[in-house]
Amino acid sequence: MASAGWPVGSGVARSVVPRSPRFPTMVRRHSSYNGLVRHLGAPMQIPGINRLTFAGQFLLFGLGILLIGMVTIGLWLQSNVREAVIDRTAGVAALYVDSLVSPLIQDSPLHGPVSPTAKTELDLLIERTSLDSEIVSVKIWSPNGVILYSPNADLIGHKFDVQDDLGRAFAGEVVSELSDLSEPENEYERKSWDRLIETYAPVRNESTGSVIAVTEFYQLPDDLIAKIQRAQLEGWAIVGFATLIMYVLLVGMVRRASGTIAMQQAELFASVDELQHALDENQLLQTKVNTAAARTTTLNERFLRRVSADIHDGPAQDVALALLRIEHIAELTEGNGSGSHQEVETLATALSSALTDLRAITHGLRAPSVEGLTPCDAAMRAVSDFGRISGEPVDFDCDEEFGRGPTPVNITIYRVVQESLANSFKHAGSASRHVLVTDSGGFVDVEIKDDGVGFDARAGTGVATLGLVGMRERVELLGGTFSVQSATSQGTIVRARLPLVIEGTDD
């Protein structure tokens, strides 16, 4: 751990391996995309319907919607056609009746039967004109509900309640409907017919225009019903033909669009399959890279141990032997009064310094064996080695739940703790230090903290940060994460998270 920048010269050697690409994240992302595309492209999950294509489903539901619309419009049209035909026929008849009846009752009293003369003329009018062929019965009502005239003499003078239709006629409307003749005043008509077209038409005073009476007449419905049925059939035919044309046009448009969608969907699925194949290959390569990285970490440590042993057994021994010989020569030349003794002493001092450096290098290269240890033991060994060399105390805390850690992870933990403590000692002086190792559910978290002078982590570039770069690359090579938190006069915190399972290793 460093403050004011950590230089390389911490006495810890390390191997630097290029950072591995992070394929797994991309694989998960695109696998989710693949599933989403296939889900969106799948048919609707409705029994019996999900086997249809999108176009088939659309056309099926479209046909149902069009049929519902056709039936709704047809029923509305059928009802309105019936009312329109009845109203039109009744309106024409009402004008005709009014033109014949109105002059005969202009002078009749409004509270009693029409005069005998008017009754005779009305009877002759019905018998001798074309009304007899279309109109089968006529009544004339007074405003207070008294029948002033009827072919049935028994009804004349009788008073009935003014019902809705009769009241509307006295208000000036022409009201017409297909009646089942169930009203009390229809006793005469019920004897001969089951149903008739019943029309109420107002009779107005020629001088004032006020309604003075209402003419009620009945028409045979057969011809009118035939006209209504013919008009309704024509309406249904028009609505059905229009619906058929719309559906045919819709089928054509949907089939063309469906063909385009199917082609694009096939191309999309092909692209997704190709991408999935490439991602599967990348996943396989990533597994191989992780395995190789883990093995490389172990092999690098073994290589460094061998280099350390070679230096110790080779150059270091030769320098030690040369130092002994030089010291012997120094003893022989001592006291001869020449300058050669001083040169020999200088040479001996240089060889002694070189031997000390060689031993320090071999010690830094040779890390203790951490195979078969827990992550806690690996970190504790680095802390113990630091305390033995520097004489500085270090607070150490660790979870007790760790099992045996993978060798590459143990090596990385040892090197990160060793490097951090060495740099902290070199740059933070006598600051207090704390190492914490915790289990984070499949990962081991290592934190090295001091309360030294700190440094500006954002400005760390160049040689001074090679120690940090080396630790970061060691950690990320195994699929972990590494971070440094520091600021001037605020100490430094180094955090590393490493996986507890490394694919392709025997640990």
User: Which of 81-90, 359-368, 490-499 shows the lowest per-residue confidence on average (mean pLDDT)?
Assistant: 359-368
- Please say if the pLDDT value at position 157 is more than 60: yes
Q: Which amino acid is at 363?
A: H
Quote the strand ranges of 100-221, DSSP E.
Answer: 135-141, 147-149, 175-179, 196-204, 211-219
For 479, the token pair is: 């699929």
Calculate mean pLDDT across residues 380-402: 86
- Please say if the pLDDT value at position 406 is more than 60: yes
Task: For the chain, give the mean pLDDT.
Answer: 75
pLDDT at 23: 35
Q: Do 421 and 394 form a contact (C-beta atoms < 8 A)?
A: yes
Q: Which residue has the tokens 């013919």?
A: 230
CATH of 104-220, one of 3.40.50.300, 3.30.450.20, 3.40.1190.20, 3.40.50.12780: 3.30.450.20
Q: Which pLDDT tens digit goes with each residue over 190-213?
A: 787 888 888 888 888 877 888 888
In three-state secondary structure terms, 448 is strand
Torsion of CA 222, 228, 232, 234, to 10 degrees: 90
- Please say if the pLDDT value at position 369 is more than 80: no
Q: Which pLDDT tens digit goes with each residue over 318-344?
A: 666 666 667 767 677 666 655 666 777
Quote the strand ranges of 167-246, DSSP E.
Answer: 175-179, 196-204, 211-219
pLDDT at 124: 77
Q: Which pLDDT tens digit goes with each residue over 428-469?
A: 767 889 999 998 888 999 999 998 888 776 665 444 466 788
Calculate mean pLDDT across residues 12-32: 38
**From edge to edge, which strands make up the β-sheet containing 492-499?**
395-398, 433-439, 443-450, 492-499, 481-486
* Nearest by Cα to 481 from 452, 451, 453, 444: 444
Stronger pLDDT, 33 or 360, i.e. the higher one: 360
Q: Do 286 and 477 form a contact (C-beta atoms < 8 A)?
A: no
Torsion of CA 75, 76, 77, 81, to 10 degrees: 100
pLDDT at 1: 38
CA distance 158 to 134: 26
Stronger pLDDT, 332 or 425, i.e. the higher one: 425
